[in-house]
Structure 1
C-alpha cells in the first residue's frame, strides 16, 4: 500500500455521550475495550470543550472552526426549519477536498434538511445517514440526496454506518481520505442490536455504548488490516453532554447546560508512530481547534476572509509544547452563558432557564471541576477581567448577528 505523507483522518463523533461513559474515563458499569485501546495507544485530552451543549451548534463549530453564532446556527434545527449551513461557509471537507482528500460522512448531519444543506453540497463526496436527530419526524435514511428508507431500522444504524465507512476506506485506500462518522446513538430514543441487549451493567444506555465500542473496534481493525494504521489519525469524541441517562464523571450539569457536564467532552486521538502512546494532557482545547488542526496536517489553506475561532493543536497532538489557548465562550442560542480563561470560568446566564440567582458565578475549574463554590466575591479583579471578556466578545457576536442569520436562511 502506497504511503502518503498526509494522514488519513477518521473522526468518530458520538451523540449525547457523557464524559464518564467510557472505561478510560472512569465508567464502572460500561465496558469499552476498543475505545480504551485507542486511548492507551494515543492521547487523551481531559479538557476538551464543545462550544455548545446541544446538537446543531456543536456540529457547526466542529466542521467550520467558527462559533455557531457566526454561522447563524445557534440552536437545534428541526425538520421544518428553513435554516441550514450556508454554502458560503467552508467545512473541513471543503478544505480537505481542495487538496485531494476524498471525504465521506456516515451518520447524523443536523445542519439543515433542505436540498441546499445536504452534506454533498458542503465538500463531502458521499453521504449515508440521517438528516437530523432520531427523535424527529419524518425520519428517513439518506444516500446523498435520496431517501432510501423510512421508517428507519434504528437498531442497525451503528453497524450500517460502520459498514459504509469501512467500504469507503477500502475504495480509497490509495489516496488520502477523511471519514466523518457522527453516530446517531446514544441520543434517545435508544436503539441497539439485539445481540448487545443486556451486555452492560448500565441498562439499555450502557448496552448502546458497548455496541458503539464494538463497531469502533471493527473500524480500527479494518484500517489496520489494510496496512493504513501508521498513516491514519483517529479522533473520537461526543457532541455534548448526556441527556437523560449517562455519566458526566461528577461534573455539574448535563446536555443543555453550559456547566462542565454539558460541554466538557471525552477526546481521544491515535496516530500510530506519531502520537506517543498513553499520553494524557490537561491542555484546554475546543472543537473549534479541530478544523485548523486537520487543515494544517493535510497542508490545506485555512480561509482568510472570515474569523476562524480555532487554534492549530498539531504541536499538542505530536508531543510538542501546546500553544496557550485564548478564552473560550459558551453559548445557548444567542445567549453568552459562560466564558473560560485559563483556570477561571465565569457564568453570567443560564439560558434557557430563567433562574438567574447567584449570578455571576466564578469558578476555579482546575480545583473545583464540579463548579460548586462561587469565588466571585473573593476575586474581584478576576471577575472584572472576565466580565470584560463577556462584554467584548458578546458585542462582537451581536454585531454580526443579522448577517449570520441571513446567511443561514439564504
Structure 2
C-alpha cells in the first residue's frame, strides 16, 4: 500500500443531490457512482461553497471562499477576471509534492491565457474554459483552441479518454486527475447509444452516460492494479438548474437553500476507507485542498486565510474535526451559515423578498427547511448571528484586495 494516494476527482456540472442512487435517487440509474459509495463512503452533508459554477470551483481549487479569491459570481467569456496567479490550487499543492496533474473538462475560472489551467498547476488540460451555454464554445488542448465546432455529445467520452490515457502513461509519481464533466449543464447533449434510455429523460441520459464512462475509468484502475491506492471522489458543483432532483431539499441552483448547495458526494480508497461508510457531519469543498495536501504530504499555504480544514479522519471513516461554521454567499452578500444541526438564513439574494428574515432551521429535524424556529432558540440565534456578522465584516475588509487580484491589478 502506498502512503500517498493517487487522486481522481470527478466533478459534474449541475447534478442534483437526488440524482445519484447513493443519495437516495431512484429515477436516474447510477450503478458505478453507487459502487463508489458501496466500496467507500457517502457524505450526506457535503456542501458546495456556492450555488453557481465559478465561485464553487474557485473554492474547490483554493480551499478559500470565492469572496477571498475575488471570484464571487459566474464569469463570462468577454470578461477579463479570473483566477489570480497569487492563489495556490489543489494541483499546485500536489505538484509540489511530486504528483503528476491533469485537468479534463470544464474550467470556468477565467479564459485569458494567464487563467488557463496549465498556468495553475495542471501538466495537461483538455476541455472548455467556461460553460457550454456561453458563446463561443471552443475546445482547448492546453492553451490552444483545437476545435471551434464542438460536438458536445462526445465530450463526456473525450474527457474520460484523455483521463485514462494520462493514467496509463504511468510513472513512479502518484497522479491527480480532475475530471470536470460538462453535463448535465444545459444545453443537454447525449452520446448516441444513451439517448432515450433513461427514465429521467435527456437530463437522465447525460448522467447515465457519465456513469458508464466513470465505469470505464474504474475498470482501468482495476486493470492497472491501482484501485487500492487511488482515492476516487465523485460529486457535483452545485444544485440542479431546470431539471434534476434535490432529493426533497428546498431550493435549486442559485439558491442557498439546501437544494442549491448540498451535494452528492461519494469516495472510495479501498486501502484506507472502510466499505459502506457514511458521514452525516457537515463538510465543504473548501476542505478538499487541506485534506488532499495532508494525504499527499504537501503544505497548505500559511500566508493567507484558508477556510477549509483537513477532514481526512472523516473521509476514512472516523470523526469529523470541529469547525466554527460554514458560510454561504450570493456574490458578496452572505446569505446563510451552517453550524452543526443549525442553518441560519440572514439574507436571500438574489430574491427580492426578505420577509421573515432571519430564519433558523434545525436540519436534523427539518431537512426541508420548512419551519423557522428562531423564536424557540434565542441563544442559538445570538451565537450564529454573531458569527455571521463577524465573518461578513472580515470578507468586506478583504474585498478590494480580492477584486484586484481577480482582475489582474495586483501581483
Find the counterpart in structure 2 of residue 210 from structure 1: 208
C-alpha separation between the residues in 1 aligned to 2:340 and 2:12?
Answer: 27
Instruction: State how 1:122-161 maps to structure 2 within 5 Å.
Output: 122-161=120-159
Matched, 1:406 2:404: yes
* Residue segments in structure 1 that go unaligned for 5+ positions in a row: none
The answer to whether the Cα contact below 8 Å between 1:173 and 1:226 also exists between their aligned partners in 2 is no
* Residue segments in structure 2 that go unaligned for 5+ positions in a row: none
Give the Å deviation of 1:322: 2.1
Instruction: State how 1:94-173 maps to structure 2 within 5 Å.
Output: 94-173=92-171
The answer to whether the Cα contact below 8 Å between 1:4 and 1:175 also exists between their aligned partners in 2 is no
Find the counterpart in structure 2 of residue 187 from structure 1: 185
C-alpha separation between the residues in 2 aligned to 1:376 and 1:23?
Answer: 34
Matched, 1:323 2:316: no
1:355 pairs with 350, 353, 356, which one? 353
Find the counterpart in structure 2 of residue 279 from structure 1: 277
C-alpha separation between the residues in 2 aligned to 1:302 and 1:147?
Answer: 33
Give the Å deviation of 1:377: 1.5
User: Could you say what secondary structure the match of 2:19 adopts?
Assistant: coil
Find the counterpart in structure 2 of residue 222 from structure 1: 220
User: Could you say what secondary structure the match of 1:24 adopts?
Assistant: helix
Matched, 1:92 2:93: no
The answer to whether the Cα contact below 8 Å between 2:140 and 2:147 also exists between their aligned partners in 1 is yes
2:12 pairs with 14, 28, 47, which one? 14
User: Could you say what secondary structure the match of 2:45 adopts?
Assistant: strand
1:332 pairs with 316, 330, 333, which one? 330
Find the counterpart in structure 1 of residue 33 from structure 2: 35
* Cα displacement string for residues 112-151 of structure 1 (whole angstroms, at most 9, x for unaligned residues): 0100000000000000000000000111000000000112
TM-score of the superposition, structure 2-length normalised?
0.98
TM-score of the superposition, structure 1-length normalised?
0.98
Paired positions, count: 408
C-alpha separation between the residues in 1 aligned to 2:351 and 2:272?
Answer: 45
The answer to whether the Cα contact below 8 Å between 2:279 and 2:317 also exists between their aligned partners in 1 is no
Give the Å deviation of 1:173: 4.8
Give the Å deviation of 1:273: 2.4
Runs of 4+ in structure 1 off by over 4 angstroms are: none
The answer to whether the Cα contact below 8 Å between 1:347 and 1:362 also exists between their aligned partners in 2 is yes
C-alpha separation between the residues in 2 aligned to 1:165 and 1:315?
Answer: 28
Find the counterpart in structure 1 of residue 66 from structure 2: 68
The answer to whether the Cα contact below 8 Å between 1:101 and 1:177 also exists between their aligned partners in 2 is yes
User: Could you say what secondary structure the match of 1:10 adopts?
Assistant: strand
C-alpha separation between the residues in 1 aligned to 2:338 and 2:229?
Answer: 34
Give the Å deviation of 1:190: 0.4
Give the Å deviation of 1:206: 0.7
C-alpha separation between the residues in 1 aligned to 2:397 and 2:197?
Answer: 51
The answer to whether the Cα contact below 8 Å between 2:328 and 2:334 also exists between their aligned partners in 1 is yes
